[in-house]
A and B are shown apart, each in its own frame.
Chain A
């Protein structure tokens, strides 16, 4: 079956790095995504990675993929208060081109 799991909460100090982890079960997933949701808003696509890649870097964001362990992580360097939000990991399920399976979301709290 398809399932995505994330830890629910992460607290970091401003300026530190944040690492949000995610595990998924569908070994046929071809793309994995990270979305950000701020209060009262929709989902903002942060980055995504193709399953044949191990790492992808985009400015302060680094995505690591361990396909063997079905583990995905998002590292945010120099975390700022504006990064406080809920972060969702998602896999593109095998059921169709557009169907995304989301984790429950990790609430990131950045404190001074």
Chain B
């Protein structure tokens, strides 16, 4: 089976812009979660989707949003980008008790 794929892998944006990141989970997995990784804050949970519904949300401002499609692919959107949004954004798909992570999208906000 193919693993979790994320696009794009690298992205450079400027402050105030918005960005959309995409994640395709492992075939057959219906649950997708997103995490933000920064040197200062480490790995932090953003949100989780299952069958197109958000089931859980981390402590992030409303500028961070997501959605899931009927084929389980997920997107996350960050509006009005700030310098502090520069991070590695990781997507994970779940099978039973385990989460498998993708390679991440590295976002740089200038």
- A and B interact: yes
Residues of A within 8 A of B (CB): 31, 33, 35, 41-45, 48, 50, 88, 90, 92, 95-105
Question: Looking at the complex, which one of B43, B58, B92 makes contact with A88 (CB distance below 8 Å)?
Answer: B43
Size category, B interface: 20 to 34
Residue in B44, B50, B100 whose CB lies within 8 Å of A45: B100
User: Chain B: interface secondary structure?
Assistant: strand
Interface-facing stretch out of B11-19, B62-70, B77-85, B101-109: B101-109
Q: Would you call A42 and B98 a contact (CB within 8 A)?
A: no
Question: In the complex the two chains form, what is the Cα distance from A98 to B55 in whole Å?
Answer: 9
In the complex, the answer to whether A104 meets B42 with C-beta atoms within 8 Å is yes
Asked if A98 and B101 make an inter-chain contact with CB atoms under 8 angstroms apart, the answer reads no
Q: Is the interface of A mostly helix, strand, loop or mixed?
A: strand
B58 touches A42 (CB 8 A): no
- Whether A96 pairs with B104 at a CB distance below 8 angstroms is no
B90–A43 touching, CB < 8 Å: yes
- Give the distance to chain A from B103, nearest Cβ to Cβ, in Å: 4
**B39-55 residues at the A interface, CB under 8 angstroms:** 42-45, 48, 50, 55
Q: Smallest CB–CB gap between A106 and chain B, Å?
A: 12
